[in-house]
Structure 1
Amino acid sequence: MNDHRDITPAGGRPRGFRLGPDDEASDGLGDDRLNDPALVDGITARRILGYLVDVLLLGAVGVAGHLLVFMTLGLAAGLVYPLLVVLPLAYHTYFVASAASATPGQRLLGLEVRRLDGGKPGLLQAFVMVALFYMTLTLTSGLLLFWCLIDDRARCLHDIFSGTLVIRSDRLAAPAAG
């Protein structure tokens, strides 16, 4: 007997996280529009600068954390230091899965992350992308990040394996009105 019930609220979309495309609209972008070379023109330099902005923001939080530990004479160390370790992963995941689909550094430089069908990544897909980024960065000292220099859409390996694409949001044209 199959006791599989549909628990989706009437008129709502299914809940939960999916790594692949989900049931929400793909924001009007299709595969053809994502293949436009203008969307990824100059993306590598923008990604690097955007990441540096994010590192500066995270560094400021890190300094504040260290000051808190200092001001509490080390009593806050057991709480602050574990949080500082997971902060970059949480920061990037949250912002990539947000409505803006970009970290503050990416937004500043006119970038956003998209799924390959044009939609915005969900929380699980954003987490996988960010976790793969940090694994690539850690395990290879960043050498695998150079893959974007030979990829036709400037995708790094963590983008490829997570099914995402970083595009220039300033080059997205509004979908034609029907």
Structure 2
Amino acid sequence: MDSQQNSITDLEPVGFWRRALASLVDTFILSLISFSAFLWVYGRMFFVDASIAEQGIFDDFMDYIFPVIAVVAFWSWCSATPGKMLLDMEIVDARTGGKPTLSQWIIRYLGYFVAVLPLGLGILWVAWDKKKQGWHDKMAKTMVVEQDGYDALNRELDIALSKGL
């Protein structure tokens, strides 16, 4: 989004399937980083006995702390994760269309836990909500919207994903 804030009515919310695809990209990237880090710390023994990674503080850091730091840092600096950036999306304050605050980012991250607890209903909510907000978005008062660079390729991807490819 430009340095000027757009009117919230000018912003186009992103639907469920593109957001799901962006999440898969992000999961792949985080998994690749984690796998590489475990391999670096534990060496070839990681291939022989992956349970050795369950023995130390490094495992706890990579499983619980690193994802929080990585995701919130990307949100804070780029208003999106790599998957969302790849698909021309950004996260904005749902009231103003501007950049969310750090407290909104933290509430949004914690909101994921609330959203997935009832069989993922809070995540699936994006598919039915008129503003395309999941429960985590509603809790943090954020929206995922098209970036200014939204193009015809992503519009076609939206159509294909909504039809089930």
What is the TM-score with the length of structure 1 in the denominator?
A: 0.69
Aligned to 1:152: 130
Choose the corresponding residue for 1:135, options 114, 133, 140.
114
Aligned to 1:10: none
Q: What SS does the corresponding residue of 1:165 show, helix, strand or coil? A: strand
CA RMSD of aligned residues (A): 2.6
Aligned to 1:165: 143
Quote how far apart the aligned CAs of 1:167 are.
0.2
**1:68–1:76 Cα contact (<8 Å) kept:** no
Residue 36 of structure 2 corresponds to residue 59 of structure 1: no
Residue 6 of structure 2 corresponds to residue 29 of structure 1: yes
Aligned to 2:99: 120
Which structure's CA Rg is the greater one? 1
Quote how far apart the aligned CAs of 1:77 are.
5.0
Distance in 1, matches of 2:98 and 2:114, equals 25
Identity %: 26
Q: What SS does the corresponding residue of 2:56 show, helix, strand or coil? A: helix
> What does residue range 102-117 of structure 1 map to in structure 2 within 5 Å?
102-116=80-94, 117=96
**1:94–1:123 Cα contact (<8 Å) kept:** no
For 1:95-129, what per-residue CA distance to the aligned partner results, in whole angstroms no more than 9, with x for missing partners? Answer: 1111x210011000110000020111122211110
**1:144–1:157 Cα contact (<8 Å) kept:** yes
Q: Which stretches in structure 1 are left out of the alignment for 5+ residues?
A: 1-25, 173-178
What is the TM-score with the length of structure 2 in the denominator?
A: 0.74
Quote how far apart the aligned CAs of 1:75 are.
9.2
For 1:50-77, what per-residue CA distance to the aligned partner results, in whole angstroms no more than 9, with x for missing partners? Answer: 1101000100122123213422975995
**Alpha-carbon spacing, 1:76–1:132, altered in 2? closer, same or farther (3 Å):** closer
Q: What SS does the corresponding residue of 1:167 show, helix, strand or coil? A: strand
Distance in 2, matches of 1:55 and 1:133, equals 14
> What does residue range 38-77 of structure 1 map to in structure 2 within 5 Å?
39-40=12-13, 43-71=15-43, 77=55
Residue 64 of structure 2 corresponds to residue 83 of structure 1: no
